A and B are shown apart, each in its own frame.
Chain A
Amino acid sequence: MSVIVPNSLSDALAALADNPDALVLAGGTDAMVEVNSGHRKPSHVIAINRVSELRSWTYDPVAATVHIGSGVTYAELMESPVADLLPALAEASRTVGSPQIRHAGTLGGNLGTCSPAGDGLPVVSALDGIVHLASVAGERSLSVHEFMVGVKRTARQPGELITGVTLPVLTGWQGYSKVGVRNAMVIALASTCLATDLEGRNVRLALGSVGPTILRCAEAEAFAATAVSFEARSVSAHDARRFGELAAAASRPINDHRATAEYRRHAIGVLASRLLRRAFPNE
């Protein structure tokens, strides 16, 4: 097994061009689990945690966007000022694993794995994030909705590196909720990200762990846009409940040893209506 530790993006891309199917190793919190369990036996590893271009985030106030390098860790995303620009991402980051995992695990790795339970993904989905990929052949950017293809399947091609994500800085409340049977360090049984866009006068809702990949809830979103008052930050109790029902209806959960589909769907309904109430606290 060869291990390459490039110090720059160009070196990383060159190494990846030599071995397009090499295991890209960021924080290793998914990859090493797979290696240790024998599910993955890489012959080439490219460790990217020293690629400084991937390890920072930048705020563009004019475009009102934040670009997050794929190597930025959850621990970093939980800190101000990026946590104030993207509060839902900070909340989602706080739900990930333990302090050790949050210091090693990266948003790029979450995208790379593309588990339906990945906690960063509902946020990227609710914000309609743009995923940036690069290879020696060049760069391309695509919507996260196109990037996520299925359970642990993405649009990333061999030889491509995820370089980062661009997320809009919205005005309006946003937050993330995740249900697990433990108060920390648990895989989501169901999760929701709700983001309000006051200027666009819309409410976005993305669901995790209840489908092959992250789901958006078009019907619930459309309902919310008309049911809430963006000025008064209000929604009726009835409409908050209805929003939850629509979210639950949009979920496509499965039964497994962690939870029943029925529980997951139920939980989505509860989380969605509670998040809507957090965003619109007045009745």
Chain B
Amino acid sequence: MSSVTGERISTGRIGDSISRPDGTPKVQGSYAFSSDLSAENCLWGATLRSPHPSARIMSIDISGAYRIAGVEAVITAADIPGSPTYGLISSDQPVFASDVVRYVGEPIAAVAADHPETCRRALAAIVVVYEVLEPLVDPERAIDGSHPDIHPDGNVIRRQRIVCGDPDIVGDVVVEDNYEIGMQDQAFLGLEAAMALPDDDGGGVSLYVATQWLHEDQKQIAACLGVPLSKVRLTLGGVGGAFGAREDISLQVHTCLLALRTGRPVRIHYSREESFLGHVHRHPVRIWMRHHATSDGRLVKVEARMVFDGGAYASTSSAVLINGVTHAQGPYRCENAVVDGYAVRTNNLPCGAMRGFGVVQACFAHEGQMDKLAAACGIDPVEIRLLNAMVTGDKLITGQIIENVAPVARCIRETAALPLPDEPVGGHDHDPMRLPGGAGRTADSSHIVRGIGFAVAIKNLMYSETFDDYSTARCRLSDGVVTLKFATSEVGQGFITIAGQIARSVLGFDNVVIDSIDTDIGSAGSTSASRQTWMSGGAVNAACIKVRDLLFAAVAVSHDVDPSSLTVDGGDIVDAAGVFRISALEAASGLSFDETVEYHHTPTEDLDENGQGNCHTAFAFVAHRAVVDVDPELGLVKVIQIATAQDVGRALNPLSVLGQIEGGIAQGLGLAVMEEIIMANGHVRNPSFTDYLLPTFLDMPSVIASLIEEPDPIAPLGAKGVGEPPTISSTPAIVAAIRDAIGKPLNRVPVRPTDIIGLSAFPSI
């Protein structure tokens, strides 16, 4: 139902910077987000949530809500026909809490009514009696066992060690420190929204929803509804950003339950505050790291301890943890390692997927360490990274060999070679907007110091640890029109555009139609882990090649040419000798083909108890250099420029890659200097955009990017995923630049003004 589906995109082959069909409507405000959906006779739904981070539910009285005119249904845990819990990896999260609540915002009941205001009054009329419990908010207490289990599955979601090489080896130079990463929110602009339409016979439901993975939602919803998969059909609603927050179930089951209960269409929209409570966040993490090196700066051993606060439910915490520990070495060669990682359960907000998925946290720590090591060895920060840069064929601390192209040194060199900003502090025209403090005119140029920081990252692509996250695509050719169908969530990353480019290049036709994105076809896997260009791109490519080969075979018969000599050249089909040439349109006249293909990546393995195993599918690399102006007295910063060279394999659409780079940097900048969900004893202090600050245009630096194109032979189109890397090392690069400017250690993100000045971040009382 998004306005991009069904539209014709009629120009652009692989490598062209064509713009996205959803771009203009989004800017003009005409794009249909899933919150714009409506149906005749539609009811509104709303969710009652826990005000306590930890409490026993003594009683729930819904009778008051039913007495309100216009209320059609009130449902609680007692009304769930199927599984009472759901979850991406383990089914540990209740659809509605019934005995205890484990975080602020946990759903307890839902209502359907004729108007949002009626819903609000109905929620207020539900009486829940709680016995408030002391929340578990310190992750260390989840590990040391000093707090009773807050869930039958225990307080430790997963522990994973990595022991590699000689665990006892000691380097000539040893540096260690503690790092802390705050809880970041995905903060997509399009809030959670869905509409469910019950089947006429009441046996099934159609759900229109903004999600990252239709089929995983379908599976979890069907289990909770207690119906077969075929009774739950999902269609992608217009998505306004995702970044990991739409991987887990939020309102899906509630909306379907209410629709089935009332026999009427039901829609639920979250408010911004509810959205902060209603989806998972980036894990806050505490990391200790000790790096050993030779006196000339070569890495000898990495030691680390990482504690990921998973919040109340498991979500993807165990996978995020694995990403964290397996990326502890960064993009550097290192033969020895001892890493210990925990993902724990607390009464804080549940955490799960967010762009960078565990690697953001690891990278902030290992890059801080590399700078410390550079200083301890007396080597330039760029040089020490070059010295240790990994290459294809290197063995990771998990024992896995890097088989991808690994242009780490090139990323570093090209980033370092990009021009520094030519403007002085404050700009050539002394525009106060260019100084830290921006519109607030807090500083003059004389108050400002400038710093430069560098950081490099490695990021796994696709899912890990034996997960077969395949993707399905169907290609139909009829009357010279190519119709592509897939269930790939277009969440703003631009897959629809890329899919059309692939089809046009492979088949030679201009007219490509994208069919509705729904569960009428097999799974595409999740739009996450930088995987859709590779996986769904691979599936679309393979389906188009199948159709092309059938077309070649038909052409071969009708024109008496060797099918194996045929290729597509622009809009024509030609033979190798260059003698035969026919336009693809003419060749396909009167023919139609219909092929569906599943694309699977190479299988991966689980990690053993020492963290050894080929657990990841593929890797990409990136480097960032940040130039930051800092007002040390007020603790304010302005990021002036980010330079980056990114290993993209092959840029299928350079404009789209640049969009990911700029957006990823904005998000990395947010984590570096302002974005944090502040929690106090399990309560959220800033669930609004008034107080959860996102970077604005005035905070965004100029970005200069160099795309490193070394097509990866392992990737179906030579193209690596590009979505996550920009977010990963931009954060440590910015923090390194602030450190460089003020000459102080800063081991926590977001960096707060008080951290820069050297004041306490907390009240002294």
Contact = CB atoms under 8 A, between A and B. Distances in A.
Interface of A: 38, 91, 94-95, 98, 175-188, 191, 255, 257-263, 266-267, 270-271, 274, 277-278
Contacts of B634: 179, 267, 270-271
21 contacts: A178-B439, A178-B440, A178-B441, A179-B440, A179-B753, A181-B693, A182-B438, A182-B693, A184-B697, A184-B698, A185-B439, A255-B765, A260-B760, A262-B754, A262-B760, A262-B763, A266-B757, A270-B634, A271-B634, A274-B447, A278-B444
Contact of A183 (B120, B633, B685, B698): B698
**8 closest residue pairs by CB, A with B:** A183-B438, A178-B440, A255-B763, A257-B685, A184-B698, A183-B698, A184-B439, A95-B439
Contacts of B437: 177, 179, 183
Contacts of B120: 38
B152 to A, nearest CB: 34
A183 B760 contact: no
B438 A271 contact: no
Nearest to B273: A37
Contacts of A258: 691
Contacts of A94: 439, 441
A162 B444 CA distance: 36
Contacts, number: 106
Nearest to A267: B634
B442 interface: yes
A247 B67 CA distance: 58
Interface in B725-765: 752-754, 757, 759-765
A257 B691 contact: yes
Given A175-B441, A177-B440, A257-B691, A183 B699 contact: yes
Contacts of A267: 634, 753
Nearest to A33: B690
A260 B763 contact: yes
A182 B764 contact: no
A115 to B, nearest CB: 12
Interface residues of B, number: 42
Interface in B421-443: 433, 436-443
Contacts of B753: 179, 181, 259, 263, 267
A179 B441 contact: no
B657 interface: no
A262 B699 CA distance: 25
Given A177-B440, A183-B439, A266 B759 contact: yes
Given A38-B120, A270-B634, A182 B699 contact: yes
Contact of A185 (B433, B696, B752): B696
Contacts of A175: 441
Contacts of B761: 260
A183 B441 contact: no
Most interface-central of A187, A258, A263 (chain B CB within 10 A) = A263
Contacts of B433: 183-184
A277 B441 CA distance: 13
A2 B698 CA distance: 40
Contacts of B754: 260, 262-263
B633 A262 contact: no
Given A182-B674, A266-B757, A270-B633, A187 B690 contact: yes
Contacts of A177: 437, 440-442
A124 B762 CA distance: 32
Contacts of B636: 179, 181, 183
A80 to B, nearest CB: 18
B291 interface: no
B686 interface: yes
Interface in B672-696: 673-674, 678, 680, 685-686, 690-691, 693, 695-696
Contact of A263 (B691, B693, B698, B759): B759
B638 interface: yes
Nearest to A273: B633
A184 B685 contact: no
A263 B433 CA distance: 23
A38 B443 CA distance: 38
Nearest to B438: A183
A238 B384 CA distance: 44
A263 B678 CA distance: 17
A187 B690 CA distance: 8
B80 to A, nearest CB: 29
Nearest to B700: A183
Contacts of A257: 678, 680, 685-686, 691
Contacts of B762: 260
A205 B635 CA distance: 23
Contacts of B696: 98, 182-185
A183 B638 contact: yes
Nearest to B674: A181
Nearest to B443: A274
